[in-house]
Chains A and B, each alone.
Chain A
Amino acid sequence: MNFLEIVYKNILRRKARTFLSLLGIMIGVSAIVALVGVSNGLKSSALDVMGSLTGDISVTTSGTFFTVEPMDESVMGKIKDIKGVKYVAPVVIILDVEAMTGGGQGPSSFEVYGIDPVAEKLIGTSATEVKKGRALEVSDRYKMIVGSTYAKMEDLKVGSKVKFYERQFEVVGIMETGNFIMDQMRAIPIDVAREVAGIDPDIIHMVRVKVEKPGTEKEVALRINLIIPDVEATTSSEQTEQISEFLDTIETMTWAISAIAAIVGGIGIMNTMLMSVIERTKEIGVFKAVGWSNNDVLKMILLEGFLLGLFGGILGIGGGKLTTIAFAAFLRGFQANITLVLVGEAMLFAVALGVFGGIYPAYKAASIDPIDALRNE
């Protein structure tokens, strides 16, 4: 028999109450593991995607980082004339309203890109990384290339017909980049995109730019911003930074919200243990009468808190993992990223909650006067 054994027996005495306090910690820790894991997964996918999606530099209407605002196509000529620019490629982004209101499966399945097949090839974006079938060609009309995840989601193959904006499109190619955001992408020829969505022929939403010399992206973006009014040129590394900052903020908020849930669980532990100490007043009096020190009693109750935190943490990490599996089933192709560091942090947090929750009850127990306790009925 040792301390751990007696502590283990103590927490098993009131099984229902122990279970409920474990549940409190478990929900909080599950929330941390699931939300931070999902946030980590999104972050790595989003950061991977930036370079291949935008080329070296992307140019949009100023102040529209996360929205789609129209620009006149003539801006392309102006960008092309700027020193250091090698190629430019126009992009029209149209929204799949049907997917947004109904069967949308993920962030990228709401948008369809209208692209210029020739310019796309010159720039070399992921729209040219076609694993099955072929890329879009100049002569294509109602043809579409789709990412492999989207193809799986909608059960599409090369040659499948897809209804989009009341037209039948034929899938001619399937892209596969290995990134779940990229692999939900859809692209159609730019003139067809404008036609089906009723966009004027001289309107574009984004210009992708390839620079002549790698390493000059920042310099060229600065030139574009200085020379052409009302546009914003951002290098892919700047966009990566912006997205990274944005996702870091989300991650911090996720931690904060989950931590509140877990702290509520910790208060539950404190309540359970305080009740347990009050119920065991006489027993603690006996321990002291037979020669236990205040520290021995303190150690026993803190160990109870530690064990509750430990078990709550293990259950919480399991619960978080299950939640992310469920999330991945909903968002097909998505992989949450539950790192060992995250598991360690969540465990440490759970154990700390258990121990902190146990401090006051342990102090109360250690302060019990054996004479009063032995006469307690």
Chain B
Amino acid sequence: MIELIDLKKYYKIGDIIVKALDGVSIKIEEGEFLSIVGPSGSGKTTLLDQIGALDTPTSGSVIIDGIDIAKIPKSILYMLRREKIGFVFQNHNLIASLTALENVLIPLLPEGIDQKKYERALKLLEAVGLKERALHKPSELSAGQKQRVAVARALINNPKMILADEPTGSVDTKTGQEIVGILKQLNSNFNTTIIVVTHDLEIARNTERIIFLRDGKIDKETKI
């Protein structure tokens, strides 16, 4: 379970304090499929960074499976990311010099890669419909295929949750629906918690709950 309690993240830009998150409290149950929607600058990505242990809050708590990540030094937050979280970014962020298969394996590289891990990466590529493209480099894949490789990479560690930041932002509507379909399938098949940040309500309607953010605060919440 994920619990955000009165979460605040302030930035100082010159003399001005920007309140990117200003007292956000949310409870997210295990296996939930949730979307966070809001206009640009509403604090969606900042919120995702906090849940994803990429950053620590100014005040408040982010509790993941009973661990308050605000109390973990920033230098060892990577362990939490490695073991519990999978990321899907808007621009897929694949490594251009590596094949699709190697890109999927990237999170496992520090601990070493054996045959079993190779097989798992291939299975994940098969699951996203890209087994035949495993040895292709990103430059040889379409935007949708790249994003599907990114989804496979997010899954390689068998994470408890997947955080997707505008996962359909760089693909057409049809491919966007395909990506959401894959995420939905993961959620129902493996009970993986999925949090999607989007500005597209059509995409958000595929999730079970929509949280609307505005000016760093929760504006409203809708269950579908």
Indicate if the CB atoms of B95 and A286 lie closer than 8 Å. Answer: yes
**A283, B95: Cα distance in complex, Å:** 7
Residues of B within 8 A of A370 (CB): 54
Question: Chain A 10-53, CB within 8 Å of chain B: the 1/0 string?
Answer: 10110000000000000000000000000000000000000000
Residues of chain B from 63 to 84 with CB closer than 8 A to chain A in the complex: 75-76, 78-79, 81-83
Q: Give the most central of A13, A291, A370: most B CB within 10 Å.
A: A291
Q: In the complex, are the beta carbons of B157 and A291 less than 8 A apart? A: yes
Partner of B105, one of A1, A13, A286: A1
Q: Which of A2, A10, A293 sits near B78, CB closer than 8 Å? A: A293
A278 within 8 A of B: no
- Min CB distance, B207 to chain A, in Å? 22
B1 lies within 8 A of chain A by Cβ: no
Chain B interface size, as a band, is 20 to 34
Q: Nearest B residue to A282 by beta-carbon distance?
A: B93
Residue A294 interfacial (CB < 8 Å): yes
What is the distance, in angstroms, from B97's C-beta to the closest C-beta of chain A?
5
Contact A286 B89 (CB under 8 A): yes
Q: Which of B35-43, B108-116, B126-134, B175-183 contacts A (4 or more CB under 8 A)?
A: B108-116
Asked if B157 contacts A289 (CB within 8 A), the reply is no
| A341 contacts B by Cβ under 8 Å | no
Say yes or no: A290 contacts B107, CB within 8 Å.
yes
Contact of A286 among B49, B55, B93 (CB under 8 A): B93
Choose among B81, B105, B112 the residue that contacts A289 (Cβ–Cβ < 8 A).
Answer: B81
Of A282, A289, A292, A296, the residue contacting B87 (CB under 8 A) is A289
Chain A residues, CB < 8 A from B107:
290-292
Q: Does A6 contact B (CB under 8 A)?
A: yes
Task: Tell me if B102 counts as interface (CB < 8 A to partner A).
Answer: yes
| Least Cβ–Cβ distance between B219 and chain A, in angstroms | 24
CB < 8 Å neighbour of A288 from B78, B85, B153: B78
* B110 in contact with A292 (CB, 8 Å): yes
Known: A291-B83, A291-B157. A2 touches B97 (CB 8 A): no
- Contact assessment for B93 and A291 in the assembled complex, using a CB-CB cutoff below 8 Å: no
Cα–Cα distance between A294 and B106 once the two chains are bound (Å): 15
Nearest CB of A to B170, in Å: 13
Question: With A286-B93, A290-B81, A371-B49 given, is the CB distance from A1 to B113 under 8 Å?
Answer: yes
Chain A interface helix/strand/loop/mixed? helix
Is A3's CB within 8 Å of the partner chain B? yes
Contact bitstring B137-160, A, C-beta under 8 A = 1, else 0: 000000000000000011001000
How far apart are A374's CB and chain B's nearest CB, in angstroms?
7
Are A1 and B89 also in contact (CB < 8 A) when A291-B157, A371-B55 are? no
Q: Given A289-B81, A290-B87, are A2 and B109 also a contact pair (CB < 8 Å)?
A: yes
CB contact under 8 A between A291 and B105, given known A2-B112, A10-B97: no
Chain A residue with the shortest CB-CB distance to B153? A290
Beyond A13-B97, A293-B78, A371-B54, whether A287 also contacts B106 by CB under 8 A is: yes
Q: Which residue of A lies closest to B46 (CB)?
A: A371
- Chain A CB count within 10 A is highest, among B55, B102, B107, B109, for B109
A286 to B49, CA, bound (A): 13
Contact A291 B89 (CB under 8 A): no
Whether, in the assembled complex, A131 has its beta carbon less than 8 Å from a beta carbon of chain B, the answer is: no
8 Å CB contact of A1 from B87, B93, B109, B157 = B109
- Is B98 in the interface zone, CB < 8 Å from A? yes
Q: Which residue of A lies closest to B94 (CB)?
A: A286
CA distance A355 to B185 in the complex (A): 47
Nearest Cβ distance between residue A58 and chain B, in whole angstroms?
67
Which A residues are in CB contact (< 8 Å) with B49?
A: 371
* A152 beta carbon closer than 8 Å to chain B: no
Does A132 interact with chain B (Cβ within 8 Å)? Answer: no
A9 at the interface (CB under 8 A from B): yes
Q: Does B52 contact A (CB under 8 A)?
A: yes
Q: Which chain B positions have C-beta within 8 A of A289?
A: 52, 54, 81, 87, 89
Are B82 and A291 closer than 8 Å at their CB atoms?
yes
> B-facing mask of A185-205, CB < 8 A → 1, else 0?
000000000000000000000
Please indicate the chain B residues that have their CB under 8 angstroms from the CB of A293 in the complex: 75-76, 78-79, 110
Q: Report Cα–Cα, A296/B78, bound state, in Å.
A: 11
Provide the bound-state CA to CA distance between A9 and B106, in Å: 14
**A289-B54, A290-B81, A374-B93 given; A6·B98 CB < 8 A:** yes
Query: Which residues of A lie under 8 Å from residue B112 when comparing CB positions?
Result: 2
Residue of B nearest to A374 (CB): B89
Q: Cβ of A292: which chain B residues have Cβ within 8 Å of it?
A: 78, 82, 107, 109-110
Give the shortest distance, in Å, between B106 (CB) and chain A (any CB).
Answer: 6
Chain A interface residues (CB < 8 Å from chain B): 1-3, 6, 9-10, 12-13, 282-283, 285-294, 296, 370-371, 374
Q: List 21 A-B contacts (CB under 8 A).
A: A1-B109, A1-B113, A2-B113, A10-B97, A282-B93, A286-B89, A287-B106, A289-B54, A289-B87, A290-B86, A290-B87, A290-B107, A290-B153, A291-B79, A291-B81, A291-B83, A291-B85, A291-B110, A293-B75, A293-B78, A371-B55
